[in-house]
Structure 1
Amino acid sequence: MTDAPAPTRTPCPPQHGIIAAHARAEEVAAASADFLEQTVVGSLLLEGAGGTWAPATGLAPVPRAPSFAILFPGAVRVSDPAVPLEKTADYLRGAVAAIAPWARPGATVVLGSGASRRIPEGVDRAAAERRFADSVRTARDLAAEHGLEVLLEPLHQGETDLVNTLEQATDFLDAHELSGMRVVADLFHVMLERESFETVHRLAGRVGHIHVADTDRRPPGQGDWPLGEFLTALRDGGCAAHVSIECFTWQDIPAEGRAALEEVRAADPAAS
């Protein structure tokens, strides 16, 4: 299979957003976020009868966004050679069709989904890696047809046993002739995997999007993680990507989100 054409990468100053479901768009806007990074599974794409998935209907208009997250549900097994690749492709066609109407030109789609890519019991690791690479390539190509760019996100070992660090992510892409793809740098996973900021700096040129949180995935400013050092390593290494806050402990997005975004913008050398 030949490489898909690269999606348009529109130059613009980095912006700062919040990851949330479509239903929380007004709360995210009230927090002064530059964008809502919409979740795909369970928000833009809904499960129907018989395990089928279809784009959600009747959603309120929101501004187009530069990034989207949570591409696969756990039931879509993207590293299992026993699952026909065409079944994964069918799911992806629906997913990118659901994303496209809400996306800016060249928007990124984060491929994390730890449960989906976990190696099934009894499956040879090399075979699982090959099938995962095929799934990643399929996602890349189908997204590119809509002007979207899929990014591989390394996830810590508590979430998956396949691609845990930035180093592993770039090595994986290179080993499977996917070197034109970029990755996501997520402070949460970097901290849990104890990956050095020297490595973050060295690989910054291959980073297409940034996720941040504070200790225990709380909003930035509510813990003691080195947000400024992380963002400085990326910016000094040549990364100009947008930044999204990814937290699961929100009590009040308008209030907490505004304070968290102030922390992120103050810590980001590229903030305008």
Structure 2
Amino acid sequence: MPAYGVILPTAEIDAAATTHADYVEPTIVGNLVVESEGRWILNPQYRGAERSPSFAILFPGSLRIADPGFPAQEVTRYLEDVLAVVGAHAADGARIVLGSGIARTVPDGVDREAAERRFAEVVAEARDIARRNGVRIVLEPLHRGETNLIHTIDEAVAFLDRHGIDDVPVVADLFHIMLEGEPLEQVGAHAGRVGHAHIADTDRRPPGQGDWPLREFLTALRNGGYDGAVSIECFWQDVAAELPAALAAVRGADAR
């Protein structure tokens, strides 16, 4: 049976425990890890579900991972620090979502092809360091309001293939799909390359509070061969009050 979880910071972790979410997808930057004296360490205040199957927000905006002029050693050191911490708190093979729109935005004046090559290097490096720590990188397309690099599942698949990056699945996120107007038929066509899924309703409200095509999205993924987990990623007014109905809406939309 598929698992249904929710992206939450430590401060909201108790809500998931009382509402029968199958798992929590913790955020990494500023939640699982914090910066201390130039290195990234486990946040002493972190309190999350141990052995989580997925994690979100891999890079802080201060690391410019699509800028060939940014020091590569800083990115490597960050990945070594952080993925070791993530691996210690993750389930074996957990998915680590590489979205990080600010970090991967191509800066003004930077050659586009050079920026894409640099980002490809970072994706491949993250994949390799993640693998050594028992986890797996998944690349998330983000809508153009968050970044200027890779907006759709189709673009993500083409990018990975163009740069010869294997063993990096992509994320299917209904929020970005809707804002980019990506056809669900295209989502289904690439479902075999999908390694993780995020879901929300209209304007990123909790599932069940809008009119976005939750059932059609999940059907496209399932019919295309994706049988993995689905994480709710949305804006909450009251997590404890809204999460039970949101989980029920996702499970109902995924009923087969």
Shared fold per TM-score greater than 0.5: yes
Query: Superposed, which structure 2 residues align to 1:102-141 within 5 Å?
Result: 102-141=89-128
List aligned pairs for 1:193-204, cutoff 5 A.
Answer: 193-204=180-191
Determine the structure 2 residue equivalent to 1:93. 80
Please point out which of 240, 243, 252 is paired with 1:257: 243
1:45 is aligned to 2:33: yes
CA distance in 1, matches of 2:222, 2:18: 28
- Of 151, 176, 195, the residue aligned with 1:208 is 195
Q: 3-state DSSP class of the match of 1:164?
A: coil
The change in CA–CA distance for 1:61 and 1:83 in structure 2 (over 3 A counts) is: closer
1:86 shift after superposition: 2.0
Correspondence list, 1:1-272, <5 A: 13-49=1-37, 52-57=39-44, 59-60=46-47, 62-248=49-235, 250-269=236-255
Residue identity opposite 2:60 in structure 1: P
Counterpart of 2:221, as a letter, is L
SS at match of 1:73: coil
In percent, how many aligned pairs have the same letter? 53
Kindly tell me the number of residue pairs found equivalent between the two proteins: 256
Q: Contact (CA 8 Å) 2:19, 2:243: kept in 1 or not? A: yes
Q: Give the Å deviation of 1:159.
A: 0.4
The 1:115–1:61 alpha-carbon spacing in structure 2 relative to 1, beyond 3 Å, is closer
Runs of 4+ that moved beyond 2 A: 47-50, 57-63
1:66–1:104 CA contact under 8 A, matched in 2: yes
Q: In the alignment, is the contact (CA less than 8 A) between 1:107 and 1:148 conserved in 2? A: yes
Query: CA deviation digits over 1:164-213, x for unaligned, max 9?
Result: 00000000000011133100000000000000011000000000000000
Residue 92 of structure 1, CA deviation: 0.8
C-alpha separation between the residues in 2 aligned to 1:177 and 1:140? Answer: 13
Structure 2 Cα separation of the partners of residues 40 and 214 of structure 1 = 24
Unaligned runs of 5+ in 2: none
**1:251 Cα deviation after fit:** 1.9
Unaligned ranges ≥5, structure 1: 1-12
Does the CA-based 8 Å contact 1:55-1:94 persist in structure 2? Answer: no
Residues 27 and 56, structure 2, Cα contact 8 Å, conserved in 1: yes
CA RMSD of aligned residues (A): 1.3
Q: 1:61 to 1:132 in 2, by over 3 A?
A: closer
Q: Which amino acid aligns with 2:170?
A: V
Report the Cα distance in structure 2 between the residues aligned to 1:179 and 1:254, rounded to whole angstroms: 39
SS of the counterpart of 2:97?
Answer: strand
Q: Conserved in 2, the CA contact under 8 Å of 1:188 and 1:212?
A: yes
Tell me, in whole angstroms, the C-alpha distance in 2 between the residues paired with 1:64 and 1:253. 22
Select between 59-68 and 129-138 the one with higher mean Cα deviation: 59-68
| TM-fit CA distance, 1:98 | 1.8
Counterpart of 2:64, as a letter, is R
Give 1:27 shift: 1.3
Q: What CA distance in whole angstroms lies between the structure 1 residues aligned with 2:63 and 2:227?
A: 32
Distance 1:214 1:189 in 2: 11
Q: Which has the higher contact order (CA 8 A, sep 6+)?
A: 1
Contact residue 105 and residue 147 of structure 1 kept, 8 A: yes
**3-state SS in 1 of match to 2:70:** coil
Q: Residues 235 and 269 of structure 1 are in contact (CA less than 8 Å); yes or no, is this contact kept in structure 2?
A: no
TM-score (norm 2): 0.96
TM-score, normalized by length of structure 1? 0.91
